Amino acid sequence: MNRRKALGMSAAGFAAGVLAACGGSADANIGTAAKPTIVMVHGAWHWGGCFLKVANLLAALGYPVILPDLKSHGYSDATYDQVVDMADYTASVSAILQAAPNPVVLLGHSLGGATLTYLGELYPSKIRKLIYLTAFMTPTGKSANDYIFSASYSGDPAAASLFQLLSATSDGKGVALDVTKPALIKDAFYGDCSAHDIAIASANIIPINSAVPGGQVSAITAKNFGSIPRVFIECLNDHAIPITQQRRMQGDVPGASVLTLSTSHSSFFSQPQQLANAVVQAIGN
């Protein structure tokens, strides 16, 4: 199945669907003070539509939801080696923030946390809350790679499967995921997910992620990024970002409220109702 023809909508198309369900139109100003727009940013190798189960639940509660694809993912026609820099990689999300009439809730999963940190510094007035879903939340001077290649991360038994799947591309511009090892893929990313959900994920993930977001060095300030309320939703049984590393980042970038789910890395597949409840709670915090 072609990943661009599989299940799921993203960005403006999904927002329009949510607005129709809520009695609005695609031309309406999305988001209100009571029900802010939620922009959900996927992680490495994934696509915006991976959040569809959770987005439907949030939409039923009246929240407009947007599921953009980062450059080279999902419906994007670009390839990993065409990503120039972080601004280029995150342009789809930047466009949403720039056009938003009201501050949005920005949620990022896994390496999507790098997008949150980057855009949080650039657009603090456009973001009502940052929600890191078992995501990389890095302090000034550090990148996601600084954590991934640290001894405590690479040596964590919980992450053993992950490190058997990763390799750098020969051009140095990408990180390849070995999709020929389904048992390791399941353990690292989808430990508590159904075979059906894993099949959908397998049809939609890209084999090579741009190296840009992993190498993006955080340059956050108290004035900009630090002015945005943050929530970190930790996942206790995550084998891609083990709980030890999630809590390490919580300590390195203090100030986030913490919610806990007893799920694998991909709670949006395995426990969408629990995750939707957590997102609503996070928005209210």
Residue pLDDT, tens place only, 64-102: 999 999 999 999 999 999 999 999 999 999 999 999 999
Question: Please, what is the Cα angle at 44 between 244 and 189, to 5 degrees?
Answer: 55
- Confidence band, pLDDT 50/70/90 cuts, at residue 258: very high
Residue 239 falls in the annotated catalytic set = no
What average pLDDT does the segment 122-151 reach?
98
Distance from C-alpha of 187 to C-alpha of 241, rounded to nearest angstrom: 12
pLDDT of 159-210, one tens digit each?
Answer: 999 999 999 999 999 999 999 999 999 999 999 999 999 999 999 999 999 9
Q: Is 238 a catalytic residue?
A: yes
Provide mean pLDDT across the span 36-57: 98
Which residue out of 69, 156, 187, 238 is catalytically annotated?
A: 238
CA dihedral 5→268→211→106, nearest 10 degrees, is 100
Note the pLDDT of residue 241. Answer: 98
How many CB atoms sit inside 10 A of residue 247's CB?
A: 13
Domain ranges of the chain: 11-284
pLDDT tops 60 at residue 11: no
Listed residue (9, 23, 17) closest to 52, CA to CA: 9
Nearest CA to 106 out of 46, 153, 51, 188 is that of: 51
| Rounded Cα–Cα distance for residues 272 and 75 (Å) | 23
For residue range 219-245, what is the model confidence (pLDDT) as tens digits? 999 999 999 999 999 999 999 999 999
pLDDT at 75: 97
Tell me which of 153 and 19 has the higher pLDDT.
Answer: 153
- CATH class entry, domain 11-284: alpha beta
| pLDDT score for 33 | 52
Residue 14 pLDDT: 41
Q: What percent of the chain has pLDDT over 70?
A: 88
What is the reported pTM?
A: 0.90
Q: Does 12 have pLDDT greater than 80? A: no
pLDDT of residue 86: 98
> Which H or E run contains 176?
strand 174-177
Region 116-135 average pLDDT: 98
Segment 124-142 mean pLDDT: 98
The whole-chain average pLDDT of the chain stands at 91
pLDDT at residue number 20: 31
CA nearest neighbour of 104 among 86, 82, 87, 119? 119
Alpha-carbon span 100 to 151, nearest angstrom:
41
Q: What is the pLDDT of residue 156?
A: 97
